Structure 1
Amino acid sequence: MQSSSHLFPVALISAERRGDLIEDVYRLKPGNSLDFTVELAVTRLGRVATPDVRGVPVILLHGSFSNRRFWYSPKGIGLGAFLARAGFDVWIPEMRGHGLSARNEAFRHNRVADYARYDLPAIAAFVIEQSGQVPHWIGHSLGGTTLAAALGGHYLGHEQVASAALFGSQITRNYWPLKVPPLQWSTRLLLKRFEHVSGPRFKRGPEDEPMGIVLEAMRWHGLFGRFGDKKDDWWSGLAQVRVPVLCVAGGGDHQDPAWACRELFEQFGSIDKEFMCLGRDQGLSEDFGHVQMLVSKAAQTQVWPRIADWLNRRIHSVNAESTLNTLVTP
């Protein structure tokens, strides 16, 4: 494998022109976890008009049963394409076994803990190496939960995260049957027989999810469960997070309701943080659902510009602070 990085083996496996956009796909082999078969596909979107000009990097994390197509379609429609056209340097990873990322040997045992501890830091290191800047992060649903785990577990900090935006992500919605030990034990015993949950079969999305993700979530919501793993309490760790945070909920999202998203928002210790609910009560045209908050015609005009504005305000804030520090330095 010819490497495109000094960090670990990386190969440029595809370089295509998609209309007015350039799509480069890299395959990363970080080799930083116990499973050395892990490979991660990371797509970079740029503009044909300015192929050598790199804007501020933004990393987009898809949710469960999904892949990079959540962020941009083959026709070049999506938040990823929108941000690329707005001048951002857009990077879209696909989690283990999703999209162009091959299934690793221990696919059935993959967990958020693995994504947060191993994969996200590797992705951050690669993007920083390629762009020379600290990236902003946007995660939807499980992607946002994984980002929260990485921040709460201190696997990512201000040196890897310029800001974090979480869409439709929450931890604290209770599932009372999981609080009954005999019921949870029997359910876990049944589920352990399967390798994955089929997204297409259950009409949840185009991808399968490893059973490890399901069992991990059940443990979080169990009688004495917590958001974390055996070593780290991610929920408590969120109180020490200081990077700028945006948490967004959909007014019509019944899967991850606004009140639960707000509880996650309030747990962050960041001084610069903002909560946004997308609904009619906020002057929008509809109460946005879990997917529609980012993938819909209404989102194109009412949500995407707000995201770009959030990012630009963080960028201007950093630039102003950098200028001030330069002025006051003897």
Structure 2
Amino acid sequence: MPHPFLYLIMQSSSALFPVALHSAELRGDLAEDVYLLKPGNSPDSSVTLALTRVGLAGQQACRGEPVVLLHGSFSNRRFWLSPRGIGLAAFLARAGLDVWLAEMRGHGLSPRNRTYRHNCVADYVCYDLPAIAAFIHEQNPQPAHWLGHSLGGVILAAALGGHYLKADGLRSAALFGSQISRVYWPLKVPPVEWGGRLLLGRFDYLSGRRFKRGPEDEPIGLVLEALRWHGLFGRFGDSQRDWWAGLADVQLPVLAVAGESDHQDPPWACRKLLEQFAGPQHFLTLGPAAGYRHSYGHVDMLVSQAAREEVWPLVLHWLQEASLPAVTE
């Protein structure tokens, strides 16, 4: 049963920073516990992060290896776990893994912070992911697997390249439909980039529902940051660190998966991001050319009946072995 008032009455469940249990629900054989974290480690002290743990009901004390799933843009935790308890998160939890679903600032159950319109990837990687990693490690000290889809994978790569997430605390990383190398040539023309900044800067956010991109909005700060990355002299990083260059120091097993029919984040660009890592690399394109029955796109590579049959078992094998099955190598 849900407990909507627990956030108000429970004491902190962490020695790191204030954490409260927002809700605890049973979804069939699964337990879904939602924590609200107040790390207080960023310039905006109003930031609160929702972090959901999914595990087998009645087995909270018996935990497998932790797996952290990061949603993409215009999305939230429901990308991984539907209200009916269906999704990759449920599949992995039933396999005995300790599954955690992070929601970025202003997404899902993470409320909009005071400076919401300025939120960007640099905030996520400098402040939020380290806090999430610290709390999960406190609850389960085993090295964690991290998996991101689309922007979630980009955020994960940025955190590793910026050394905000330490590779020695991770067992593996997996990037699904994630890239930062696709070139948008008009943005290489400075007046076009400047004009785009001027126009978009008038808004606080882009509506996912209005543009039919997903259930969530994205802060305009993230969009302006992407314009800078793809500008004439842009780079994948912030004012302090070059995340792209930093990936060359990351010694960690990394899996990159692309969809054969994904035109938003094409396979060649996903492979290029993978190749910047220094550790063991594994790449796969999901489509008939690689022996799959379905030519996967950007979303259905993880959310579809076909993915349930073909891709989810592959993900589980990766998490258990840090390698792909021999037939797909």
Instruction: State TM-score, norm by structure 1.
Output: 0.94
1:241 equivalent in structure 2: 250
In structure 2, what residue type is equivalent to 1:76? Answer: G
- Alignment partners' CA distance in 1, 2:307 and 2:20: 34
Which stretch has the larger CA shift, 40-49 or 249-258?
Answer: 40-49
Question: In 2, Cα distance between the equivalents of 1:141 and 1:14?
Answer: 28
CA contact 2:160–2:167 (8 Å) conserved in 1:
no
Paired with 2:33 and 2:315, the residues of 1 have a C-alpha distance of 23
Instruction: Select the residue among 264, 269, 290 that pairs with 1:282.
Output: 290
CA contact (8 A) 2:52 2:100 kept: yes
Structural mapping, 1:196-211, within 5 Å: 196-211=205-220
2:166 aligned residue (153, 157, 162)? 157
Unaligned runs of 5+ in 1: 316-330
- Find the counterpart in structure 1 of residue 3 from structure 2: none
Match of 2:23 among 9, 14, 33: 14
Mapped to 1, the partners of 2:19 and 2:59 lie a distance apart of: 24
Amino acid across the alignment from 1:234 = W
Letter in structure 1 aligned against 2:217? D
- The residue type paired with residue 122 of structure 2 is A
In the other structure, the counterpart of 2:101 is 92
Is 1:314 equivalent to 2:306 in the alignment? no
Select the residue among 59, 84, 104 that pairs with 1:50: 59
* Residue identity opposite 1:149 in structure 2: A
Match of 1:116 among 121, 125, 129: 125
Q: Residue 325 of structure 1 corresponds to which residue in structure 2? A: none
CA contact (8 A) 1:19 1:76 kept: yes
8 Å contact 2:302–2:312 — kept in the other structure?
yes
CA positional deviation for 1:158: 2.4
Once the two structures are superposed, the pairs formed by residues 296-315 of structure 1 within 5 Å of their partners are 296-314=304-322
Q: 2:84 aligns with which of 75, 83, 92?
A: 75
Contact 1:21–1:47 (CA under 8 A) maintained in structure 2: yes
Aligned pairs, number? 314
Asked if the contact 1:125–1:160 (Cα under 8 Å) also holds between the matched residues in 2, the reply is no
Look up the equivalent residue of 1:96 and give its one-letter code.
R
Structure 1, residues 268-306: CA drift from partner, whole Å, max 9, x if none? 111x22011101100101210000000000000100000
Offset from partner CA, 1:183-210 (integer Å, 9 cap, x none): 1101100100100000001100000000
State how far apart, in whole Å, the 2-side matches of 1:242 and 1:169 are: 19
Cα separation, 2, equivalents of 1:104 and 1:90: 26
Asked if the contact 1:157–1:243 (Cα under 8 Å) also holds between the matched residues in 2, the reply is no
Letter of the 1:75 counterpart: R
Contact 1:110/1:213 (8 A) holds in 2: yes
One-letter amino acid matched to 2:51: V
Deviation at 1:314?
A: 3.1
CA contact (8 A) 1:294 1:304 kept: yes
Alpha-carbon distance in structure 2 between the residues aligned to 1:312 and 1:133: 14
Distance 2:284 2:240 in 1: 32
Q: Partners of 2:119 and 2:267 in 1: how far apart?
A: 28
* Superposition deviation, residue 49 in structure 1: 4.9
- For residue 214 of structure 1, the aligned residue among 210, 223, 234 is 223
Tell me how far apart the structure 2 counterparts of residues 6 and 101 of structure 1 sit (CA, whole Å).
21
Q: Which residue of 1 aligns with 2:178?
A: 169
| 1:168-197: CA deviation from partner (whole Å, max 9, x where unpaired) | 000110001100111110110010010000
Secondary structure in 2 aligned to 1:162?
A: strand
1:262 is aligned to 2:287 = no
What's the counterpart of residue 328 of structure 1? none
* Partner AA of 2:116 in structure 1: F
Alpha-carbon deviation of 1:159?
A: 3.7
| Residue 157 (structure 1) shift | 1.2
Are positions 1:146 and 2:191 aligned together?
no
Q: Percent identity?
A: 67
Q: CA deviation at 1:89?
A: 0.3
Letter in 1 for 2:98: D
Partner of 2:327: none
Partner of 1:260, secondary structure, is: helix
Cross-structure match for 2:68: 59
Deviates more, 1:49-58 or 1:109-118: 49-58
The answer for unaligned runs of 5 or more in structure 2 is: 1-7, 324-329
Q: Distance between the aligned counterparts of 1:209 and 1:71, measured in 2?
A: 19
Q: Distance in 2 between matches of 1:262 and 1:243?
A: 16
How far apart are 1:77 and its partner, in Å?
0.8
Q: Is the 8 A contact 1:245 1:273 kept in 2?
A: yes
